[in-house]
Amino acid sequence: MTEGKERPPDVSKEFERQRRFNVATINPPFETVEELRVLVESLGQGEPIDTIIAKEFAMKVEYAIEHLDELREVARTANADVIVAPDNYHQGTNVRYNWREIKEMSCNAGAQTEEGNFPEDCPPESVGLFIRKNGWVFIFPKSGISCSRNVHRIPDSKIGISICSEILSVRPEELDGIDILYNPSEEYDDIFVWLRMAQTKKGSPLTRQEVEGLLKKDVGNQSFLLNEEDYLRYAQKRRDNLQQQLDKHYFDLMYGDRPLVNEGETLEKRREQFDKLIDDVIKELAKDDNSFYVKKADGLIQALRERKIVVIRSDGMQNSGILNKVPGMKIDELDIQPNATRISVSV
């Protein structure tokens, strides 16, 4: 283990007393520390935040380590611990750093690295950075198939972190001594996380009106209700974006002869689709309160319940939030916005 320039304080006693967690997830992707700073500043006023979690693959690992002092300053200014999990590609290439190279860069930047069985000559897909608000930094690799670690323990704390798919393989024994588990990710495939969380906060089933109001917060759903003129502009922007992303020949072949708006995109048809979406959400919310992410690993749901461990995921807006319910859990505050989700949960 490389020794950092700063040692973290012993906060284990603090975490034994504190069973309330004030967390903010950063929902959009970003590439620079300045973009992260703007997103953190947009959190606005409210109850002090303990931890800010960004989604996986925000920034490149080389860039993050090179700008570690700026990341430290973001954490100090926000007076919160910050978790990021940068993409492990050389900037501008398709080549990844191996763990040995990342450890060397981390050591030179004054960070502490995780001990474990991750092969030093193996390149992790992404790399976790835990930046404490006092400037201490802990860096760890996302585990691969050859590794058995799925929970990264932050020294001198009761915090665990599983990066994205690691959550699918967590073993109950890996939760010993953990009070909370953070899950920075980028998948966008459980679109009901935020709605389940809102229903838990309410303490009773969401009404149809409440579901509709939440769905309207998501930019992707707003197009369902645009008037004909605004939808035409939306469709043109959608077409322009596709043209920029695709090869000209392929774009012309696939979309050249297609109308900008087809017959199934009238306001009436879009409203019908939105109503069906509301129906589907209400049916989903009547099911289990736990995300499939915590159902995959054998015994994980029961272990989380027994230890009263809350798992908080950072992903897109729809996918960010609490993944499970535990006995005695109460969501005291909840503010879901496109750029960030603020959660205050007690157990």
Domain ranges (residues) in the chain: 12-197+288-346, 206-285
What's the whole-number mean pLDDT along residues 247-260?
A: 85
Task: With CA atoms as reference, report the closest residue to 116 among 272, 243, 2.
Answer: 2
CA separation for the pair 197, 191 (Å, rounded): 11
User: In the chain, what's the furthest Cα-to-Cα distance?
Assistant: 66
Residue range 181-192: mean pLDDT, rounded: 94
Whole-angstrom distance, CA of residue 271 vs CA of residue 267: 6
Average confidence (pLDDT) over 49-62: 96
In Å, what is the CA distance from 319 to each residue of 92, 193, 234?
A: 29, 5, 24
Measure the CA–CA gap between 226 and 211, rounded to whole angstroms.
Answer: 18
The more confident residue out of 86 and 244 is: 86
Calculate the alpha carbon distances from 180 to 14, 17, 45, 214 in Å.
14, 13, 24, 27
Amino acid at 197: M
Across the range 134-145, mean pLDDT stands at 90
Structure confidence by residue, pLDDT tens digits, 142-167: 986 556 789 999 999 999 999 999 99
Q: Please name the residues in contact with 113: beta carbons below 8 A apart, sequence gap of 6 or more.
A: 1, 2, 102, 103, 106, 107, 138, 139, 140
CA–CA dist 110, 138 (Å, integer) = 10
| Section 337-345 average pLDDT | 95
Its CATH architecture, for the domain 12-197+288-346, is 4-Layer Sandwich (3.60)
Contact 191, 318 (CB under 8 A): yes
- At residue 1 the predicted structure's pLDDT band, cuts being 50, 70 and 90, is very low
Rg of the chain (C-alpha set): 21
Whole-number average pLDDT of the chain: 91
**What is the number of residues in the chain?**
347
Is pLDDT above 50 for 191? Answer: yes
pLDDT at residue 26, as a whole number:
97
Residues 214-234, mean pLDDT to the nearest whole number: 93
Residue 320: name the closest of 129, 190, 217 by CA.
190
- How far apart are alpha carbons 118 and 148 in whole angstroms? 9
| 44, 193, 220, 314, 332 from 198: Cα distances, Å | 20, 9, 19, 16, 11
- The answer to whether residues 311 and 183 touch, using CB atoms and an 8 Å cutoff, is yes
pLDDT of 226 strictly over 50: yes
Average pLDDT over residues 229-245: 90
- How many angstroms separate the CA atoms of 176 and 188, rounded? 29
Overall average pLDDT of the 103-113 stretch:
96
Mean pLDDT within 262-275:
94
- What does the alpha-carbon distance between residue 313 and residue 185 come to, in Å, rounded to a whole number? 7
* Amino acid at the residue 204: S
Confidence at residue 263, expressed as pLDDT on a 0 to 100 scale: 87
Residue 16: the pLDDT is 45
The structure tokens 């950063």 sit at 26
Task: Check residue 241 and give its pLDDT.
Answer: 87
- What percent of the chain has pLDDT above 70? 94
Average pLDDT (284-303) is: 93
Region 121-150 average pLDDT: 90
Average pLDDT over residues 267-292: 94
| DSSP letters spanning 25-53 | EE-S--SSHHHHHHHHHTT-SSSPPSEEE
Q: Stretch 112-141: mean pLDDT, rounded?
A: 94
Judge whether 106 and 43 are in contact, CB under 8 Å: no
Binning pLDDT at 50, 70 and 90, where does residue 12 land?
very low
- Mean pLDDT to the nearest integer, 121-147: 90
Res. 93: pLDDT tops 80: no
| Residue pair 159/175 in contact by the 8 Å Cβ criterion | no
* pLDDT the model gives residue 145: 57
Please tell me which residue, 3 or 25, carries the higher pLDDT value.
25
Q: Whole-angstrom Cα distance, residue 149 to residue 164?
A: 13
The pLDDT assigned to 290 comes to: 93
Q: What is the mean pLDDT of residues 48-55?
A: 96
Q: Would you state the structure tokens that stand for residue 179, as one six-digit string?
A: 């009070």
pLDDT of 219 over the 70 cut: yes
- Cβ-contact 79, 133 below 8 angstroms: yes
